[in-house]
Amino acid sequence: MRLTFFILFVITTTSLHVHGQHQLWYDEPAKQWEEALPIGNGRLGAMIFGGDTVEEVQFNEETLWTGEPRNYNKTNARQYLDTIRLLLEQGKQQDAEELAMREFMGLKSETEDPKPWLDRVGAEREKPNGAYTFAFDDSRWPTFPVPSYEGWEEIGLEALDGAVWFRTTFELTAEDLAGEDWQLDLNKARQEDYTYINGQLVGHEHGDHTKRLYNIPKEILREGKNVVAVQIINLTGKGGIAGYKDTTNHIGIKNASGKFISLVGPWKYWIQDSDVPKVGAFQASYQPFGVLKFRFPKGDTEAYKRRLDIERGVSEVRYRQAGVEYTRTYFASHPDNVIAIRLAADKPQQVSFALALETKHEKHRVWKVDDQTLAMTVYVKGGALEGTSYLTVKLQGGTMTEKDGQLQVQGATTADILLTGATNYGNYKTLVPGYKHAAQDHHQNVRKKGFLQLLRAHEHDYQQLYGRFNIDLGGTEARAMPTDERLERFVTGADPDLIALYIQYGRYLQIASAREGTRPANLQGIWNPWLEPSWGSKYTTNINLEMNYWPTEMLQLGELHHSLFQMIRELSEAGTETAREYYGARGWVHHHNTDLWRGTAPINNSNHGIWPTGGAWLVTHLWEHYRFNQDPKFLAEYYDVIKGATLFFKDFLIKDEKTGWLVSTPSNSPENGGLVKGPAMDHQIIRTLFRIFTESSKLVNKDASLRDSIQTMIPQIAPNQIGQYGQLQEWLEDIDDPDNKHRHVSHLWGLHPGNEINMDQTPELVEAAKQSLIMRGDDGTGWSLAWKINFWARLKDAQHTYKMIKMLLRPAGSAGGSYPNLFDAHPPFQIDGNFGGAAGIGEMLVQSHTDIVDILPALPKELSQGKVSGLKARGNFEIDLAWENHQLTSLSLRSLGGKPLKLRFNGKVVEIPTKKNKTYMFDTELNLLK
């Protein structure tokens, strides 16, 4: 059973702490979700809008997902493995993909026969006076903006699946009718449409990507008003008339003479039937829980300011109305599983508000528990999970009443509002039917604690993590400017303090989104407002989940890695059956995506879903944790997981008849090029895995014979190759397209986060990797930009690294960037870019991926001064350093593991033995100071 969350609100008249130096702040409330400020404690996350009249606190809980425990694996899929491999060997990629799509993908959840439902909604198209007809009376229908490229869910019809009718009109003159036929261009629809003009069917298509370009015979057109009626049938996912992604390109009707009539605008609509049959899904989706909605008395607001103080893990809103200053303080406490919000006024009895507990889940119940408490249970549509929350309000002064599920507070001096809850999630295999009893007990226990007690516990806990690392890059005068304005200005100007803020914000988000004992950060950390989030807000393991944890060790948050390690262990358990059923192999395998229920089979499409190295990549995080912390007990604890992944690839790799190399097949180079044999990324990861196993087995003194056989295999694996353009080849064959600008640059994994391509040992491969980066181009989605920051830092190209930071920290657009709250824009929001960007900034300052600790290896001219303390290097070293005018002014290292140290700065290398827990100081020439 998972106790899920607890929210407390208190009103008081004093500010408790001096505000931190690193903060995001704004001079107006958030108008949209990507402007709201995030708080979280690993179990729940909330987004604070900061409205002065209407305030929303949109909250999530980490274990509220769609789906249920089930088997994701297709029995005996391995019988098709050899045929798929043969087809790829013969160059028949399409045939291989089609066979794999039919026989080698994972199992979907339950699917119901849609025919009876389709027949029912189709009957409307047969009625003489149906919604498709010219004379149909739609006067009582509401209106809806058409088109909606990302689906009707994002602009008002969220979580709607079903049959929906849309109607609009256009005018034609007699002259228009005298000429040729017309065409209707809707571009795309999601997912099936029946399109009528004046009651006549002109088109019917399936599929999100099928262009809707329908001929309109002039005989069915009329002088004056003409009616377009479209029935959209959407059983799952996004729905609606999509139109064009480029909104300057309108849907409409046109003739051969060039006349065009736009149909962009409000259309009438009718939700005919939303009770759709179940449609199977490969994996589950993360869900929002609910919203606390406050309504305050209206007034003229002055001196408004909202901020997120990331040094304290506290958000605050301040403003004045009618001579009264109001303050709200918000924080998320991990030790007490609580979010606390203090609402304050500088005059007594000035706090009045209405408070409602709301949710987007269609099936839910809100009820009064007692005079102070409301409760809400939500039920996830089509899934096994539910959650229950309890909301208690305690007042100092004033009065409170309950009406229609809302709490009305008048004239209070302080108010404590406590929200607790739980879901019936047990683990990835089990549910907990009696979860509500523990939820109530938890609620009662938390009610006994005072606000100050909760705040002190939160700040102590938070600072134990956040306070280990500090950074100052100068330029602090920019802090006087709102963060969204700083983001705009950074496009053309300098703001070194914004870079410092960004790396600390990444640390804040990591602390807030996942802690020990929680689920790891998903595609959106722990923050998601959508019932149908993009990519299910799942765990994508062909880079995105891993990127979430790139900064963890370097930026002194090693404990936070453990939530990922627990997932890796669970995936190793679930992936054992996948390895057996799909590959006839020992050990375990995980592909490119997983969810709360730990699906490990291939999903989505064979052209990118059959990628067997997701688990192997995750195993490298176990090794990185060991490298940074040098804890042999940790390595022994996870040795079986490392061994299992190794056994899988020992069985999986096959000898390529053309080259004699061991290759990975079938696979792909995420998410580019389709199903192939032998992508370079796979071989880089597998070599790394095999080396991790050999070192681990030595350290735990186990499996010597297996270790010897694995060491024999390593040099037989297909090596990195340099192609005809001087590039690092992405595939076995030299077929890279120099004009390909795909956002994944997967074949550079060995440069970063791997280390087999490095400037000291493989300079020719470094140059090839650089050429691949140049060919691929700088632009990309948010996480892609973040990865390129790390690439260029590893290449020690300081100015190109800085250029990529500038691109990541630009206002969000169609090609990535950052939203006003500094959330990374894929777009839409994905948190991986925040973490990858933070890691890349760290890579500019210290690198330790080889046996050398590099000091300031990629420092751009724009960061001429700085001071950093608490950076972590592999070998378990803590580093403090400072520089002025690009010259190192101080450097000290604390050896926490007593390992030998090889240190480099400005081309000079020194080697010294170290003693555990001893600090070593160096001058600017790396001379050891006595």
pLDDT of res. 20: 66
∠344-345-347 over CA atoms, to 5°? 140
Q: Are the C-beta atoms of 193 and 230 separated by less than 8 Å? A: yes
Backbone angles phi and psi of 685, in degrees to 5: -70, -40
CA distance 629 to 469: 16
246: Cβ contacts below 8 Å, ≥ 6 apart: none
pLDDT score at 415: 87
Residue with tokens 């979907």: 108
How far apart are the C-alpha atoms of 153 and 480, rounded to whole Å?
A: 38
For 796, what's the count of Cα atoms within 13 Å in the CB-facing half-sphere? 16
State pLDDT tens for residues 318-350: 999 999 999 998 998 899 998 888 888 999 999
Q: What is the pTM (predicted TM-score) of this model?
A: 0.94
- State the Cα–Cα distance between residues 554 and 574, nearest whole angstrom: 30
Let me know how many helices (H) and strands (E) the chain has, helices first.
19, 47
3-class secondary-structure state, position 468: coil
849: which residues sit within 8 A by CB, 6+ positions away?
Answer: 752, 755, 758, 794, 874
Give the contacts of 891 (CB within 8 A, at least 6 positions apart): 855, 879, 880, 881, 882, 905, 921, 922, 923, 924, 926
Q: Which stretches of the chain score pLDDT less than 50?
A: 1-19
Q: Do domains 115-273 and 538-719 have the same CATH topology?
A: no
Q: Which amino acid is at 210?
A: T
- Beta-carbon contacts of 564 under 8 Å, excluding residues fewer than 6 positions away, are 514, 520, 545, 548, 549, 618, 621
Q: What is the pLDDT, as a whole number, of residue 11?
A: 38
Using the 8-state DSSP alphabet, how is residue 479 labeled? G
CA-based nearest residue to 297, from 353, 336, 217, 335? 353
Q: What CATH number does domain 115-273 carry, 3.30.2350.10, 2.60.120.260, 3.30.9.40, 3.40.50.280?
A: 2.60.120.260
Report helix angle 798-808 to 832-845, nearest 10: 160
Rounded to 5°, the CA angle 472-475-479 comes to 95
CATH architecture of 2-69+289-467: Distorted Sandwich (2.70)
pLDDT tens for 62-83 read 999 999 999 999 999 999 999 9
Nearest to 189, CA basis, from 216, 167, 212: 212
Nearest one of 810, 830, 807 to 818, comparing CA atoms: 810
DSSP assignment letter at 266? E
Q: Which CATH architecture has domain 538-719?
A: Alpha/alpha barrel (1.50)
Q: Which amino acid is at 831?
A: I
Phi, psi of 616 (to 5 degrees): -65, -40
Q: Which residues of 469-500 are buried (b: 16+ CB within 10 A; e: fewer)?
A: bbbbbbbeebbebbbbebbeebeeebbbbbbb
* Cα-Cα-Cα-Cα dihedral sign, residues 815, 818, 820, 823: positive
By three-state DSSP, how is residue 394 classified?
strand
The DSSP result for 121-179, as a single string, is: HHGGGGSTT-TTSTT---TT--EEEE--TT-GGGGT-TT--EEEEEEEEEEE-HHHHHS
CA distance 363 to 765: 57
Q: Give me the sheet containing 399-403, strands edge to edge.
A: 37-40, 44-48, 54-65, 286-295, 351-358, 406-412, 399-403
CA distance 895 to 878: 7
Domains of the chain, by residue range, sit at: 2-69+289-467, 115-273, 538-719
Distance (Å) of CA 755 to CA 620, 761, 840 = 11, 10, 15
User: Tokens 């007034």 label which residue?
Assistant: 299
Question: In this structure, what token pair is assigned to residue 236?
Answer: 């799952």
What is the CB neighbour count within 10 angstroms for residue 701? 8
